[in-house]
Amino acid sequence: MTVPSTDTEALQQALRDRLPRYAVILYNDDYHSMDYVAEALVKSVPDLIVEEAVGIMFEAHNSGSAVVIVCLLEQAELYRDRIRGYGLGVDIKRE
């Protein structure tokens, strides 16, 4: 028996809702320019627009750290690795 696509989508969404979320955390960076950090964020996390990246960068600069995005573990690991590839301090933390 084939499950209609809407039922499958609803089941997948229900499963995603139950999975733990992880925050990608950017740490303040005293070595790279602010433009570099914002550009690295936009290139690393497709959902971010420049204005959001600048806001995240300023929050990390002023507070020491900032949440870039909250997502599933595999995505969080991917984004962490991409951001780290730009030489920036970043980690993930379970929400």
Stronger pLDDT, 75 or 5, i.e. the higher one: 75
Kindly tell me if the per-residue pLDDT of 36 is higher than 80. yes
- Residue boundaries of the structural domains of the chain: 20-94
Angle at 88 between CA 33 and CA 82, to 5 degrees: 120
Indicate the CATH number of 20-94 among 3.30.1330.10, 3.30.1390.10, 3.40.1010.10, 3.40.190.10.
Answer: 3.30.1390.10
Express each pLDDT in 7-33 by its tens digit: 888 877 777 778 999 999 999 999 999
Average pLDDT on 46-56 reads 97
Mean pLDDT is lowest, of 13-17, 29-33, 39-43, 74-78, for: 13-17
SS3 92: strand
Q: What is the pLDDT of residue 10?
A: 83
Q: Which residues of 9-32 are buried (b: 16+ CB within 10 A; e: fewer)?
A: eeeeeeeeeeeeebbbbbebbeee
